[in-house]
Amino acid sequence: MITLALTISAFVLFGIWFLVDMSLFDRYEGKIKRGIKVWSRELDTKSWKYLSSLRQDTVEEKEFLFLKIKQSFIRKHDGEVLILVRPENFTSTWACTGYVDLNSPTREIQYRMAITGLILLIIFNVLGVLFFVLSFYPYKNAIDAYLERKASGNV
């Protein structure tokens, strides 16, 4: 009983962490470097020079009903750059940001996502494989036993 209560508590706490992390991840405010790197590539010279010379943040807003939503922004602070662009005609609660460290010796842009989304993805994949295995073997064994009975003439 205690194990069940601890499991439920862990899922509730993870759920709260997930909701908070996902809601804060794509905001303009907050840390520049957020989430974990899922992909990176070398940044071209033109983009590197543009980001290096940027003196103020750029923000593009879109009106939605009575709200102004930041559709895209580039935020620069202490040699670090955060880039968020919401793709047109695409919505997802699992956003991806671009991150550039202008103080780094490599000219790299990192594509970063919230860690809670990746953890949830891993959990559901593990549970999916577990469900597959638990469903497959009873059917496999039943089919094999049935075929063996039929082939042996034991009806």
C-alpha span between 130 and 125 (Å, rounded): 9
Residue 18 has pLDDT above 90, yes or no: no
What pLDDT does 65 receive?
83
Are 7 and 43 contained in the same domain? yes
- Any idea what the Cα angle at residue 65 is, between residues 98 and 89, rounded to 5°? 45
Confidence of residue 7 (pLDDT cuts 50, 70, 90): confident
Name the residue range of residue 73's domain.
2-113
C-alpha span between 105 and 97 (Å, rounded): 21
Are 8 and 55 contained in the same domain? yes
C-alpha span between 45 and 102 (Å, rounded): 12
What pLDDT does 155 receive?
62
Mean pLDDT (the chain, rounded): 88
Are 105 and 129 contained in the same domain? no
Confidence of residue 98 (pLDDT cuts 50, 70, 90): very high
Are 108 and 122 contained in the same domain? no
b/e 52-91 (16+ beta carbons within 10 angstroms → b)? eeeeeeeeeeeeeeeeeeebebbbbeeebbbbbebeeeee
Are 119 and 100 contained in the same domain? no
Q: Is the CB of residue 76 less than 8 Å from the CB of residue 51?
A: yes
Q: At what angle do helices 2-25 and 115-152 cross, to 10 degrees?
A: 130
Q: Is the CB of residue 60 less than 8 Å from the CB of residue 73?
A: yes
Report how many domains make up the chain.
Answer: 2
What pLDDT does 75 receive?
96
What pLDDT digit, counting tens, does each position of 117-144 carry? Answer: 888 888 889 988 888 888 888 899 999 9
Residue 13 has pLDDT above 80, yes or no: yes
Confidence of residue 93 (pLDDT cuts 50, 70, 90): low
What pLDDT does 99 receive?
97
Pick from 7-11, 18-22, 35-39, 59-63 the range whose average pLDDT is largest.
35-39
What pLDDT digit, counting tens, does each position of 36-89 carry? Answer: 999 999 999 999 999 999 999 999 888 878 888 778 999 999 999 999 998 877
Residue 149 has pLDDT above 80, yes or no: yes
Are 109 and 38 contained in the same domain? yes
Are 98 and 123 contained in the same domain? no
Are 127 and 109 contained in the same domain? no
Number of H helices, E strands in the chain: 3, 6
Place of tokens 């955060």: 82
Are 79 and 143 contained in the same domain? no
